Amino acid sequence: MKLHTREWGSGERTAVLVHGITFDHRTWRRVGPELAGRGYRVVAVDLRGHGLSPRGTGAGPLERYPLEAYTEDLLETLPTGPELAIGHSLGGIVLADAVERLKPARAVYVDPAWRFRQWGLDPTTWVAEREATREGLVAHNPHWSAEDVEAKLDALAHWDTDTAMALAAQGSDLPAAPVVPSLVVRADGSTVVRDVDTETLRARGFEVRTVAGAGHNVHRDDHEGFLAALDGWL
């Protein structure tokens, strides 16, 4: 499936960005221009079932949104061999699966939800986010800008909740080893990349950095802290 994309910049180097569940390319609305200003052509996707990308087809949620379909969509849509690939949460799961064939020079995984099932997280609870209000989002995300809040509300309106239902029936795990030089940027007190995961990832060859005070949406909670965590990787 060809995905909807948003581009910033026209540099000779390419960076690709993959968002997490319930959002779309606008999660990178500050990161994309920042990378473009550093000489990248930046390509951000809307995953299937999100934003302006098509919905999956099939008899049920699992048939429409298997994890391997997200991977194939990325490979069909994105240029092979980018200088940099960044994936957040679900995007981190998909990027890790695609990385061997996508062939980025470097990969960055932002609080990747590799072990969401092992830690007892239930994606079906995210369906309730469709009822989120502007006031509720502001209260739960005090560091978000008004633009981020509005983008989230609109992304939820364009999100197929069957993606969460399908994810609840699937699972993933920590990568055995980095295929390319890889950085994991985790939230402070992350619920998906816990301390024991950090130790395992470092032992397997990943660099892991934590952004103090940031929640799961690291790049939105603390934009400057996120960029600082990318020092040496851009």
Domains of the chain, by residue range, sit at 5-229
CA atoms within 13 A on the CB side of 223: 14
Task: Assign domain 5-229 to its CATH architecture.
Answer: 3-Layer(aba) Sandwich (3.40)
State the chain's mean pLDDT as an integer. 96
What is the reported pLDDT for 99? 98
Q: In this structure, which amino acid lies at residue 100? A: E
Helix 90-102 and helix 67-77: axis angle, to 10°? 50
Per-residue pLDDT tens over the stretch 6-47: 999 999 999 999 999 999 999 999 999 999 999 999 999 999
Strands (E), 48-204: 84-88, 106-110, 182-187
Neighbours of 160 (CB within 10 A): 18
Tell me what pLDDT residue 55 has: 97
Query: pLDDT tens digit string along 140-184?
Result: 999 899 999 999 999 999 999 999 999 999 999 999 999 999 999
Per-residue pLDDT tens for 51-93? 999 999 999 999 999 999 999 999 999 999 999 999 999 999 9
Which three-class secondary structure state does DSSP give residue 180? Answer: coil
190-209 pLDDT tens trace: 999 999 999 999 999 999 99
pLDDT classification of 219: cutoffs 50, 70, 90: very high
pLDDT at position 37:
97
